[in-house]
Amino acid sequence: MEDGFAASRLFSQGYSYTYDDVIFLPHYIDFPTDAVSLSTSLSRNIRLSIPCVASPMDTVSEAYMAAAMAALGGIAIVHSNCTSAQQASIIRHAKSLHIPIAPSVAFASPQDVLPAAPQGRYVFVTESGTLPSKLVGYVDCENLKGEEVKIFDHMRDCKSVESVPWNYDLGKIEAILEEKKSDFVVLERDGEVVNVLIKEDLERLKGYPKLGAGTVGADGEWMVGAALGTRESDKERLEHVVKAGANVLVLDSSQGNSIYQIEMIKYIKKTYPQLDVIGGNVVTMSQAQNLIQAGVDALRVGMGSGSICTTQEVCAVGRGQATAVYKVSSIAAQHGVPVIADGGISNSGHIVKALVLGASTVMMGSFLAGSTEAPGAYEYKNGQRVKKYRGMGSLEAMTKGSDQRYLGDTAKLKIAQGVVGAVADKGSVLKFVPYTMQAVKQGFQDLGASSLPMAHDLLRSGTLRLEVRTGAAQVEGGIHGAEKGTGLAPFFGKFKSMRTVSKEGDSLFMEYKILEKSTNKFHQGNILGEGGFGCVYKAQFDDGSYAAVKKLNCTSQDAEKEFENEVDLLCRFKHSNIISLLGYSSENETRFIVYELMQNGSLETQLHGPSHGSSLTWHRRMKIALDTARGLEYLHEHCSPPVIHRDLKSSNILLDSDFNAKLSDFGLAVSDAAQNKNNLKLSGTLGYVAPEYLLDGKLTDKSDVYAFGVVLLELLLGRKPVEKLAPAQCQSIVTWAMPQLTDRSKLPNIVDPVIRNTMDLKHLYQVAAVAVLCVQPEPSYRPLITDVLHSLIPLVPMELGGTLRLTTQPPALAPAPAAADP
């Protein structure tokens, strides 16, 4: 009995297959996912912990990408689309980034002009305007008046700047920031600044998945690769990058089977025999054989398969990537030469296919472009935050210098073999690459291979079988009949129900009698508020402590599910802006959730209750917005899997005695993965529900961002999310406010009278702009909550958790009376 085809038969039919054309059949599993090892060889003498290589493209691989990839256990190849001195500087910089995080502060030279709306509070001034370079000073943008100014005129000296050696570890830097009460610390090497870190950067790093074994050289520094061409002038570049510490060399050519590359391989192996050389690109066995005989230590496979490469269309030359990887790997394995699958990678399934078909590593361009570590500044295109991404065969890149990769002549007409585009913001590779690798491990487990060598053996022996997929099969195998979520969605598992009821052995389980006594038998006078399935009561225990007790009538299946979901999630959450679970209980069909008592009740009560927001000053409102954004960022960015609140509203934002805000009521919350897999019932509160969710049931983290925008409008305008105009007619705050929010002459007149004329107009305009972006009808136009968070931090005074330095003493904040709603 035999299913499918052996690879040797499938790839000898005369067809050129891509990754999407073929599918592996599952094999026998006798090991857990954690037992899968992705350790592999980049080249003859270099080992990696993960099979990931960042492509030598000028919109992908520079210093921050190189450091981050090495920290993850992979490697990056620094591009050569610059002068040899610049490339050497990038390599040295990457090796100096002991803490592999891209800074969130800006850099400039003394001659630069500061824009009217700089990104972030600080701009650090170096001699060159970039890193690494000597630090000249810095500019604190907080007290500038929102107009273009010369940096030199506002630059402060470096006397008060805290600086530490480049190789200080995270713990030491955190201790210095705490001890010195400083906002930032400068890392230096050989008299030059190599990085500047602020507190938020360190918190961000701690929120990423734990890093494994990094790719470190004998000198204890990150291993970094360097790309170079095959011209005579590249021999001089070779000297520069070797002196800078390059650990491996990549001959960067779209067609590697040339006399020029063969001669360069021989020259490098003779001049620097200790260095591994990666040749390519090739797609046939005969091409590979020529370069192997010349002495290469690894081969790059791929021609025209990149997402923005057009070589196959323009030059009519190339090969389907799945076929190319299999064929070249077959000959390379006989000589012990590892293969790098270069191009065509857009998801974890492609990585699995490339590796099982014979590759030892995969080289990624578009997959990593748009990340925090990729070169270039973010910009907004149609409301979406993007970074530029271009093929090295595009006219734009060749004009800058990459024409030698395509064997071009600088003095002659250039033919484009690539295009220029933009890719959406992906966040940090330190976050999404580990999730991708976990998905790859799951793929290997399904194939019954616990390592790359085992997968290769199973393929060559014919044990692993493949089939060709029809177009309809490819559609069926993808996401269909539902909203296509993020590229990470398939990697995340779903929450498993805790089945929490009647778990008397659990330390969080509380006896019903204790709750009954502490609430005076749930007396009406102790009611703090009401929800969909019951009331919330104030409880006082025998030791004098207080709590809030949510009583749920769980006669319906929906109520039972919400109870289990909320307890399950609150047991997992650990964040200062998420309500703390104290316990839970069960009595017949009634369930109880016990959480900390919030003395100032809900934001809804404070804004729309009897006090009408009188206790909420401008700065308090900004702090509440910042706290809420921090809570949402924790759910979206730091929970694994990510969580969508689904019912964010002012009544679910609770305020303690100091007006610190915490998110509550997680009965409707879902994981990012679960929302793509389960048929969720449409739920939420009118006025806060995002239009795409209301109309089509499409739920993403941007749905929470929309609800946050509505809350921000409530804080700004003092209006309810929905106002009744007549018995059968209502108007949402978004519909009413949008035409006026973008008109600076009208905006001050619609602000809540309680705070009108109490804030800096520049800050008012900034908050209004953030709110407008958050409530955009098209979800892709809305910002990530992380971007919202960083926009709000400079608007909140330092004593309230932001970075705003108040030039004058603010009015005394009178203590507010405790409200009734928790």
- Band (382; pLDDT cuts 50, 70, 90): low
The C-alpha R_g of the chain, in whole angstroms, comes to: 29
Q: What is the mean pLDDT of the chain?
A: 84
Domains of the chain in sequence order:
7-96+222-476 (3.20.20.70), 106-206 (3.10.580.10), 512-800 (1.10.510.10)
Given this model, what pLDDT does residue 592 score?
Answer: 92
Given this model, what pLDDT does residue 484 score?
Answer: 41
Given this model, what pLDDT does residue 505 score?
Answer: 42
pLDDT tens, position by position, 31-88:
998 999 999 999 999 999 999 999 999 889 999 999 999 999 999 999 999 999 999 9
DSSP 142: G
pTM equals 0.59
Taking each helix axis as running N to C, give the angle between helix 63-72 and helix 84-96, from 0 to 180 degrees, rounded to the nearest 10.
40
**Does 128 or 210 have the greater pLDDT score?**
128
Residue 522, pLDDT above cutoff 80: yes
Give the integer Cα–Cα distance in Å for 405 and 408. 7
Tell which residue, 460, 439, 493, 448, has the closest CA to residue 50. 439
Locate tokens 């934002």: which residue? 653
pLDDT tens, position by position, 56-72:
998 899 999 999 999 99
Output b/e per residue, 341-369; b: 16+ Cβ within 10 A. bbbbbebbbbbbbbbbbbbbbbbbbbbbb
Given this model, what pLDDT does residue 650 score?
Answer: 95
Amino acid at 496: K
Given this model, what pLDDT does residue 119 score?
Answer: 65
- Band (807; pLDDT cuts 50, 70, 90): low
Q: Binding site residues for IMP, as ranges?
A: 307, 342-344, 365-366, 389-393, 417
Residue 653, pLDDT above cutoff 90: yes
Contact between residue 346 and residue 308 where contact means Cβ atoms under 8 Å apart: no
Given this model, what pLDDT does residue 675 score?
Answer: 47
Residue 367, pLDDT above cutoff 50: yes
- Band (419; pLDDT cuts 50, 70, 90): very low
Q: Which of 21-30, 64-73, 376-385, 548-557 has the lowest mean pLDDT?
A: 376-385
Residue 471, pLDDT above cutoff 80: no
Given this model, what pLDDT does residue 308 score?
Answer: 41
Given this model, what pLDDT does residue 203 score?
Answer: 80
765 backbone dihedrals φ, ψ, rounded to 5° = -65, -40
Give the integer Cα–Cα distance in Å for 656 and 662. 8
Residue 591, pLDDT above cutoff 60: yes
Locate tokens 């230096």: which residue? 188
- Band (316; pLDDT cuts 50, 70, 90): low
| Alpha-carbon distance values, 202 to 27, 76, 173, 206 (Å) | 43, 23, 9, 6
Given this model, what pLDDT does residue 810 score?
Answer: 44
Residue 318, pLDDT above cutoff 90: no
Tell which residue, 468, 383, 451, 476, has the closest CA to residue 422. 383
Residue 496, pLDDT above cutoff 50: no
Given this model, what pLDDT does residue 315 score?
Answer: 56
Q: Binding site residues for NAD(+), as ranges?
A: 252-254, 302-304
Residue 104, pLDDT above cutoff 90: no
Q: Provide mean pLDDT across the span 203-207.
A: 79
Q: Binding site residues for K(+), as ranges?
A: 304, 306, 309
DSSP string, 414-441: ----B-EEEEE--B-HHHHHHHHHHHHH
Given this model, what pLDDT does residue 267 score?
Answer: 97
Residue 211, pLDDT above cutoff 70: yes
The catalytic site residues sit at 309, 405
Given this model, what pLDDT does residue 255 score?
Answer: 87
Residue 569, pLDDT above cutoff 70: yes
Percentage with pLDDT > 90 across the chain:
50
Q: Binding site residues, as ranges?
A: 252-254, 302-304, 306-307, 309, 342-344, 365-366, 389-393, 417, 551
Give the integer Cα–Cα distance in Å for 244 and 89. 7
Given this model, what pLDDT does residue 799 score?
Answer: 86
Give the integer Cα–Cα distance in Å for 585 and 718. 37
- Band (396; pLDDT cuts 50, 70, 90): very low
DSSP 533: S
Give the integer Cα–Cα distance in Å for 89 and 62. 10
Residue 263, pLDDT above cutoff 60: yes
Given this model, what pLDDT does residue 494 score?
Answer: 27
Is residue 527 classed as helix, strand or coil in its secondary structure? strand
- Band (639; pLDDT cuts 50, 70, 90): confident
- Band (304; pLDDT cuts 50, 70, 90): low
Q: Provide mean pLDDT across the span 91-97.
A: 95
